[in-house]
Structure 1
Amino acid sequence: MTELREAVICSPLRTPVGRYGGALAALPAQRLASHIVTALVQRTSLPGDAVDDVIVGQCYPTMEAAPIGRVAALDAGLPVTATGYQLDRRCGSGLQAVVNAAMQVQTGVSDLVIAGGVESMSNAPYYTEEGRRGLPPGSLVLHDALTRGRERAGGELHLTPEGNLGSAELLRLEYGIGRERQDAYALQSHRRAVAAQESGAFDAELVPVEVPGRKGSVVVDRDEHPRADTSLEALGRLRPALSRSDPEATVTAGNASGQNDAAAACIVSTPERAAELGLTPLLRLVTWAVAGVEPQRFGIGPVPAANKALARAGLGFDDLDVIELNEAFAVQVLACLTEWGIADDDPRLNPRGSGISIGHPLGATGVRMLATLAHELPALDGRFALETMCIGGGQGLAAVFERV
């Protein structure tokens, strides 16, 4: 068997993260995806014919752009020889796109792949399966894709009727994590993200987006989700989402991730091909792992996934300089930290915020995190980073990266 080649990451970029119904809501997912691919090609002066494949993670597609990787490639003006596809591993879709690209490069199937992720949760569809063979008597039921996806990611045998919220509250009970600790962690996330915004730490990874409007176009160049005005008092006043069914519920809109819109992408290639094209690698993929857990405990998925990835890399948590753990819920993050014996305020953990503060545009999140950690590592003079996230339906995904 041919020896595996090295896979490196070049020029990870992202759009700002928009709030649900916010500044980016006017743009469908395919527009966001083609915009980030166009920007990536332009910023790197990448010849279009050098792109072998475009892989884009997305969780809530419509048939307006069915194979969104291919659509993004064509809409970005790449030649028809640049193939593309869409994948869905829920919250891990963006990172999985990067991993798949790396495997194609490592095995010699491709020499250069654009890997990305996109989500427009503001435009997630309502749909029906009832109208194809004629309208049913009475009424036609439309399902909300966002709600339905959370309830059914575990299939018929592992339904989660309370969605991800119920899973988060289950971890709260299992690990005894109170509301005060969750809110304190959420506040920390916002403070770190706001500090990064104000210092310009995100500037190198951000691509502005021009959004058309009735009064003219507006350029969005800043994440909408971080809140500089939040406080423990403000967070404490928010009502838990499941308080009616569970008087002791603790998960609120303030200590959970947002529903968001964004796109992100990077180039995955070999060091040799990158050098030929004048690209500067920032990271190399050391290894990765995926793990399954009970769908009702999906938030703990990063623990077995990260443990497997680190074992394969021959590393421990003490060897890491950055730990990017997506913040689906504060309680979920805190449960993982409890298992790992890591302090809530560890400076290596999400140094510039994460899902609670920056937002969680599902398909884009994994590449958004990658873009952030690629710039965190040199700023901290670090070498190794872990990126990991929980996944609805009961999975965890983790990847170990080394600074080049």
Structure 2
Amino acid sequence: MTELREVVVCSPLRTPVGRMGGVLAPASALELATTVLRALLDRTGLDPAVVDGVIGAQGYPTMEAPAFGRVAALDAGFPETTTGYQLDRRCGSGLQAVANAAMEVQTGIADVVIALGAESMSNAPLYTVEGRRGIPGGGLMLHDALARGRATVGGSRFPTPEGNVGAAEVLRAEYGIPREVQDALALRSHRRAVSAQESGAFDAELVPVEVSGRRGSVTVDRDEHPRADTSLEALAALRPLLQRADAAATVTAGNSSGQNDAAAACIVTTPERAAELGLTPMLRLRSWAVAGNDPLHFGVAPVPAANLALRRAGIRFDDLDVIELNEAFAVQVLACLADWGLDAEDPRLNPRGSGISIGHPIGATGIRMLATLAHELPALDGELALETMCIGGGQALAAVFERAA
């Protein structure tokens, strides 16, 4: 086999992140995806005919856009020669799309691939599996894809009846993490995200979205989820989600990630092809790794995944300038940090906020994080970054990136 080619990431972009039922709710995941793909072409001047394929990550698809990457590419104006497909590794889907694109480029299967992630959790489907052979006597049962996916993600052998929240409470009990410490991390996340918004730090990575509503078209150019008005007192007043079942429960809507809408995309290619196309690489992929564990402990799966990715890159935590650890729950971030021996106030950790403040649009999150860290590294005069996230069902994904310019 020939030697693997070097891979670079160019022009990572993202839409603003909308709240559940918020300003982006009228837009489907496909509409968000086509918006970010068109912006990627416009800002880079890339000829869509040179793109070999689009890998579309999405956690809550419907058959309105099957093989999501292909349909999004066609709707965005790419030629019919552009291939595409869809993948789902839950919370890690976006970063997995980048990894898959990298493998295609590294092996010479493709030269230019776009990794795309999109989610409209506001429009996640209600579905039935009971109507194909006639309607049962009691009528059809409609499942909420959001809730159902969290309850079934461990399969029949590893049930998660209380979903990811229940698994987060398992870590709270085992690691002895107090509610106050979780809320403090959540507040810090919001303050960092709001500060980034106010300073314009997100501007270069953002793509405005035009949304049609009853009162006409509205341009959305700002993340909706960060809360400038939150406080420790406000967070402490929120009721734990599982309080009725567990009097010691601590996980609330305030110290958990949001349910959100967004899309993000980036170009994956070789340095040589980037130069030919007039693209400016922002990151080099140094290594990546995936790990699996007990679904009830999925929140600490980033520990083995990140450890392996760092080992493959030949570096340690001390060598990193940015650590982007998605905040699915404050308690799982704190559990990971405890295992790594890192301080929760480490300035390298999510310098501009993460899932609790910015939001967690499942399929888009991995590339949203990538877009943010690509701009954080030069702003902080850093060279190396780790991106990692836990994945519902007992998995985690991690990647080490090096600043390319």
TM range (shorter): over 0.9
Amino acid at match of 1:82: T
Identical-pair percentage: 76
Partner of 1:328: 328
Partner of 2:42: 42
Post-superposition Cα deviations, 1:37-57, rounded to whole Å, max 9, x if no partner, equal: 111011100001110000011
Large movers: runs of 4+ above 4 Å: none
Partners of 1:152 and 1:393 in 2: CA distance: 8
Partner of 1:10: 10
1-side partners of 2:366 and 2:192: how far apart?
Answer: 19
- Distance of 2:341 and 2:177 partners within structure 1: 14
1:211 counterpart = 2:211: yes
Cα distance in structure 2, aligned partners of 1:168 and 1:96: 23
Aligned to 2:140: 140
Give the aligned partner of residue 235 of structure 1. 235
What is the 5 A alignment of 1:46-195? 46-195=46-195
Which AA in structure 2 matches 1:166?
Answer: G
Quote the offset at 1:292 in angstroms.
0.4
Task: Give me the whole-angstrom Cα distance separating, in 2, the residues matched to 1:66 and 1:226.
Answer: 32
The residue that corresponds to 1:256 in the other structure is 256
Quick one: distance in 2 between partners of 1:233 and 1:138? 46
Structure 2, unaligned stretches of length 5 or more?
Answer: none
Matching residue's letter, 1:44: T
Which residue does 2:353 correspond to in 1? 353
Displacement of 1:116 in angstroms is 1.4
Write the deviation string for residues 109-164 of structure 1: whole angstroms up to 9, x where unpaired. Answer: 00000001000000000000000011111221000000010011111111100000
Deviation at 1:237, TM superposition (A): 0.2
Tell me the secondary structure at the aligned position of residue 139 of structure 1: coil
Partners of 2:384 and 2:57 lie apart in 1 by 25
Cα deviation, residue 34, structure 1: 0.9
How far apart, CA to CA, are the structure 1 residues paired with 2:190 and 2:64?
A: 35
Matched residue, 2:387: 387
Tell me what 2:224 maps to.
224
Letter of the 1:346 counterpart? D
Give per-residue Cα distances to partners, 1:225-283, cap 9 Å, x unaligned: 00000000000000000000000100000000000000000000000000000000000
Partner of 2:295: 295
Query: CA RMSD of the aligned region, Å?
Result: 0.4
**CA distance in 1: counterparts of 2:252 and 2:89, whole angstroms:** 25
What is the CA–CA distance in structure 2 between the aligned matches of 1:176 and 1:239, rounded to whole Å? 19
Counterpart of 2:21 in structure 1 is: 21
Using structure 1 for the length normalisation, give the TM-score: 1.00
Distance 2:91 2:370 in 1: 14
Q: Distance in 1 between matches of 2:126 and 2:216?
A: 29
Aligned length in residues = 404
* Separation (CA, whole Å) in 2 of partners of 1:114 and 1:358: 23
The alignment partner of 2:90 has SS state of coil
Kindly provide the amino acid, as one letter, of the partner of residue 316 in structure 1. Answer: R
* TM-superposition CA deviations, 1:299-318 (whole Å, max 9, x none): 00100000000011111000
For residue 289 of structure 2, what is the amino acid of its counterpart? A
Query: In structure 1, what residue type is equivalent to 2:51?
Result: V
Q: 2: CA distance between counterparts of 1:214 and 1:176? A: 49
CA distance in 1, matches of 2:267, 2:290: 22
Q: Partner of 1:157: helix, strand, or coil?
A: coil
Aligned-pair distance for 1:74? 0.1
